[in-house]
Amino acid sequence: MTDRVPVLKIGEVLLVSIQTDLDDQMVLDLQEDLSNRIVATGAKGVVIDISALEIVDSFVGRMLAHNAAVSRILGAETIVVGMRPAVAMTLVELGLSMSGVRTALNLERGLKLLRRIAAGRA
């Protein structure tokens, strides 16, 4: 299977909604697609919605942190939104604190946070 996670553009924001559990190849593809799209569109923000993910392993956790770092270098702020309670608890138990990644409760709050950052208020 060569499924790719779609990267959608809404104004100056790129939206990545992960709907299925990711295998390693999909994670690598996503990293590449996302950085290409940021450069191509000049996006100022990236929102990664993981509300459909029931399992986030350390590989996906690292991918999120890695994406956030790459996007920041390319001039876009990354917000991870919609993390489930069970996922947050698993990541804590794994010792991953995702300290470099900004998070928000849901997509709406994530977009608000991005605008706030753009306005220099957060």
Partner 1 sequence: MNTESNIRLLVDTLTEQREKFLTQWTRTVGEDLRGRLSTAELGRELGELYDAVLEAMTAGSLDSRGEHFAETRSLLIELSRNRARQGFTPTETVRSVFALKEVLEPSLTGDADSARAYLQFARLLDGLGLLTSEAYLRTREEIISSQAEQLLELSTPVVKLWDGVVGVPLVGTLDSARTQVVMEKLLQTLVDTDSTHAIIDITGVPTVDTQVAQHLLKTVVAARMMGAQCTISGIRPQIAQTIVALGIEFGDIPTNASLSDALRQALKEVALDAEDDVRGLL
Q: Can you give the binding site for partner 1, defined by CB under 8 A?
A: 80-81, 83-85, 88-89, 91-93, 97-98, 102-106, 109-110, 112, 115-116, 119, 121
Residue 29 corresponds to which tokens in the numbers above?
């593809």
Query: Considering the complex, what minimum distance in angstroms separates the CB of residue 116 from partner 1?
Result: 6
Cβ proximity to partner 1: between 28 and 52 the closer is 52
Query: Considering the complex, what minimum distance in angstroms separates the CB of residue 88 from partner 1?
Result: 4
Cβ proximity to partner 1: between 36 and 106 the closer is 106
Cβ proximity to partner 1: between 18 and 98 the closer is 98
What backbone phi and psi angles, to 5 degrees, belong to 114?
-60, -45
Three-state secondary structure call for residue 49: strand
Burial label, 83 (beta-carbon count in 10 A; 0-12, 13-18, 19+): buried
**Number of helices (H), then strands (E), in the chain:** 4, 5
Closest CA to 30 of 53, 6, 66: 6
Query: Considering the complex, what minimum distance in angstroms separates the CB of residue 84 from partner 1?
Result: 8
Query: Considering the complex, what minimum distance in angstroms separates the CB of residue 112 from partner 1?
Result: 5
What backbone phi and psi angles, to 5 degrees, belong to 12?
-95, 10
Cβ proximity to partner 1: between 10 and 39 the closer is 10
